[in-house]
Amino acid sequence: MIYKNITIEVKEGVAIVKVNRPKALNALNSETLEELKRVPEELENRKDVKVVVITGEGDKAFVAGADILEMKDMDPVQGMAFSSKGHEALSKIENMGKVVIAAVNGYALGGGFELALACDIIYASDKARFGFPEVTLGIHPGFGGTQRVSKLVGLAKAKELIFTGKMITAEEAFNLGLINKVVPHDELMEEVFALAETIKGCGQIAIKLAKECVGKSLSLSIEEGLKLEAANFGLCFGTKDQKEGMTAFVEKRKPVFKGE
């Protein structure tokens, strides 16, 4: 597929997706959201892609938010449509059947923070900054921030972040439980590839099924969640990967998973 504001490079089973509007600090306009929506559609069925990494072009920003220039003159109907477009793109990323890692290389603000939160695992450079500056612009988070953050850190912390618009460091985001790891800026991609390597070596169907269970755990009751877990656990036993994984254990060798 041809993209204008996104680049995709596939290297040894890992797709590196870069938001590529460095002049606007990779801000998300409608066109970029449309392209982001197409990324999971393109990568989902590619056998040569096991793990997806999302990052921002340049050294300064992951994504500095939704595009303020585009939003400036919107009316309420356009504002709602823009929010829905963001929800659609980020939900597609969140629900991909592959692990998506956010490599946060700089500012992750507003819609950029929300994009990172739609990913499964967030690794951040020690130079990264997170925050929801929306209220300083007279709006509030619109790409899922008001819903996803409280589920992660509880209402009190979510309200403080959203009501103040204050930026926090990567270390603070880590201490709040919003991100997985903070690494020295120059080692970010190296650390992300090491993580991807570990994930690539495991059973990909099992990961996909586990991702569905964990993803839905926040919205299902415990009874419903356990039913889903039992069903997906059962599905694992219909895969060649399960036979290979357990046979390899018994034979004391490394498994060779084929994602089948």
**142 counts as binding ligand CAA under rule CB under 6 A:** yes
Amino acid at 172: E
Q: Which is nearer to ligand CAA, 100 or 117 (CB)?
A: 117
Query: Which amino acids are annotated catalytic?
Result: 114, 134
**135 counts as binding ligand CAA under rule CB under 6 A:** no
Alpha-carbon distance of 104 to 128, in angstroms, equals: 6
**134 counts as binding ligand CAA under rule CB under 6 A:** yes
Q: Which is nearer to ligand CAA, 113 or 257 (CB)?
A: 113
| Residue range at the interface with ligand CAA (CB under 6 A); choices 58-66, 91-99, 179-187, 204-212 | 58-66
Q: At its nearest, how many Å lie between ligand CAA and the CB of residue 61?
A: 6
Q: Which is nearer to ligand CAA, 115 or 199 (CB)?
A: 115
**168 counts as binding ligand CAA under rule CB under 6 A:** no
Number of residues that bind ligand CAA (CB under 6 A): 22
Pairing assessment for the beta strands 129-131 and 167-169 based on DSSP bridges: antiparallel
Q: Tell me phi and psi for residue 20, to 5 degrees.
A: -125, 70
End-to-end Cα, the chain, rounded Å: 26
Strand order in the sheet with 107-109: 61-63, 107-109, 129-131, 167-169
Among 3, 62, 130, 143, binds ligand CAA (CB under 6 A): 143
Give the number of other Cβ atoms within 10 Å of residue 75's Cβ.
Answer: 8
Q: Which is nearer to ligand CAA, 133 or 255 (CB)?
A: 133
Q: At its nearest, how many Å lie between ligand CAA and the CB of residue 199?
A: 29
List the beta bridge partners of residue 107: 61, 129
Distances (CA, A) of 23 to 19, 37, 170, 248: 11, 22, 23, 50
* Binding positions for ligand CAA, rule: CB under 6 A: 24-25, 27, 64-69, 86, 107, 109-111, 114, 133-134, 137, 141-143, 145
